[in-house]
Each structure stands twice: as C-alpha cells, then as structure tokens.
Amino acid sequence: MFEYFLVFLGAAIPWLEMGLVIPLGIIGGLNPITVTIVAIIGNLLTVLLLIIGFEKFQQWLAKRREGKEQMPSKRSIRAKELWRKYGLPGMLMLGPILIGTHVAAFIALVLGGSKQRTTVWSVVSIVAWAIFFAVVTALGFDFFVRST
C-alpha cells in the first residue's frame, strides 16, 4: 500500500510526474493497472488544483517576482513555441513529455487558455500519456523478462 502512495505522490510532484513513476512502479512489481490509475489521480489532482487556483497562484507569483528581473526559463520558452505552433490542445498533449503537465497547464492559462478547455485537454493528455507509459513499460518489461 505504501508503494502506491509513493506512486501517487511522485505523479503529483511537478517534474517527477507519470513518465517516471509509472515505469518505476511497474518495474518494481506493482500492478500496472493500479499504478496507472493512482498516477493519473495524483497528477490530475495537482494539475486541477493549479487550474482552480490559477488567479491566486498568479498573484502570489507576481508578488514574489516584484522588483526582480526575470529571465525566461528553457521550459517557458519551449512552452511558448508549442503554443504558437500547436495551440492549446497541442501544448497540453505534448506537455507531459516536453515540459511537464503542471508547467503546460500553467502556461496555457497564462497565454490565455480558458480554465474549462485547459482542464479538458489536461485530463485527455494525462490519461492518454499514463496509458501509453504503462503499456510501453509493461510490454517492454515483459519482453525482457521473457527473453532471458
């Protein structure tokens, strides 16, 4: 049970997320379906909290950065390029593998995406990528176990 809590926690933490915790959980011998569901819930929970509390977060960030010159990070530059190229759906679908789900959702909101569309595309993206990571890991791990 504690291992699944760690999967939940890892998926909820920005930059660890599902691309790392799902493969580690499955390779560690946990049930792939349960790992996937727990990781989806963990990742979705924090992304939804970010979307819901976006205005408060933006105010807090503005206060924190007040008077400081801020250079854009590589992630934010990459996110803006994704936005220009693919729009909201593309950025949120590619976000988990390129910049992280939390960063993609936050930047989508900063760049003018509505909370509703950001939520819908975040859910679609998180579920799709979680299933992808689980299937690829389970099949790949099964392949290596069987071939030895």
Supply the DSSP string of 66-87, one letter for each residue.
TT---PPPHHHHHHHHHHHHHH
Looking at residue 144, its amino acid is F
> 């963990």: which residue's tokens?
42
Q: What is the pLDDT of residues 133-143, one digit of tens each?
A: 999 998 886 65
Q: Determine the structural domain holding residue 40 and report its residue range.
A: 2-65+72-147
pLDDT for 147 beyond 60: no
Looking at residue 53, its amino acid is G
User: For the CA atoms of the chain, what is the radius of gyration?
Assistant: 17
- Element (H or E) spanning 12, and its range? helix 2-12
Its pTM stands at: 0.81
Instruction: Give the whole-number percent of the chain exceeding pLDDT 90.
Output: 52
The residue count of the chain comes to 148
> 């936005």: which residue's tokens?
83
Domain count for the chain: 1
